[in-house]
Amino acid sequence: MSLADREWRLIREESWDGPLNMALDEVAARTAAESGLGTVRVYRWEPSTLSLGYHQDPATIDWEFCAREGITVTRRPTGGGAIYHDSWGDISYSVVAPAADLPGDLMDSYEVLCEPLFDAFEGMGVDARFADEKLPAVYGPACYLRELHPAHDVVAGDGRKVSGNAQYRQRDAVVQHGSLTFERTTERHLTCFTDPETTPEAFDDRVTSVFEQSGIDRAAAVEGEDPST
């Protein structure tokens, strides 16, 4: 059975804290494995959350800053560096499907599961594509400043990163989750790290946002539609 023939559950944007957002993906994975029901979920992090990659060194995080600013810290089941998910500036999603319905090759499965993501970017008026080539890391502990990879990093027309995506397989299901930068929060993002070893200018040279690219408001971006068209 193809993904198009599957029954899907769509969950429009909801706001949850970091641990619950990760737990909901686990529940969706169990459901996909046991019943074949796929889930597409759009979500918000409330309060703002720093999600750590599975092997992230906690010593790279400024825990005092996060506690003082009310930023939750949680660990993702996927690798990579830490991502600051601002409750306003970040739009996150997950797509969960039975593993048997997806290609076994990782890059092929990214292409399949990112199709709705690119449709959403088109609806927002953002020219987006997979990165054309690898670019060296700016600062490894920060996910958005790691090596830019054509397999799962999405860039805008000017070549700057606008979305990062990751996958993991569990209980015969594939979970792909990703983060779209609606509006950059550069200073706050970098201050979550103890010693970011980079500058706000370097961050902005690598990362762009949906708002910068199209001027769309957040409500319309969540729906994946540009009200000006």
Q: What residue ranges define each of the domains in the chain, with the CATH number in brackets?
A: 3-223 (3.30.930.10)
Residue bearing tokens 């010593």: 59
Identify the pLDDT of residue 225.
Answer: 64
Identify the pLDDT of residue 71.
Answer: 98
Identify the pLDDT of residue 228.
Answer: 54
Identify the pLDDT of residue 1.
Answer: 54
Identify the pLDDT of residue 133.
Answer: 86
**Token pair listed for 48:** 């703002």
Distances, alpha carbon 145 to alpha carbons 62, 64, 222, in Å: 17, 22, 24
Encode the chain (229 residues) as per-residue pLDDT tens digits: 567 777 899 999 999 999 999 999 999 999 999 999 999 999 999 999 999 999 999 999 999 999 999 999 999 999 889 999 999 999 999 999 999 999 888 889 999 999 999 999 999 999 999 999 888 999 999 999 999 988 889 999 999 999 999 999 887 999 999 999 999 999 999 999 999 999 999 999 999 999 999 999 999 999 876 555 5
The alpha carbon of residue 4 and the mean position of all alpha carbons in its chain are separated, in whole angstroms, by 23
Q: Are 51 and 76 in contact (CB under 8 A)?
A: yes
Q: Is the dihedral of CA 133, 167, 207, 92 positive or negative?
A: positive
Q: What is the spatial order of strands in the sheet that 38-45 belongs to?
A: 8-16, 38-45, 90-98, 173-181, 161-170, 153-156, 128-130
Identify the pLDDT of residue 173.
Answer: 95
What span, in angstroms and rounded, lies between the C-alpha atoms of 17 and 109?
28
Identify the pLDDT of residue 5.
Answer: 77
Model pTM?
0.92
Identify the pLDDT of residue 2.
Answer: 66
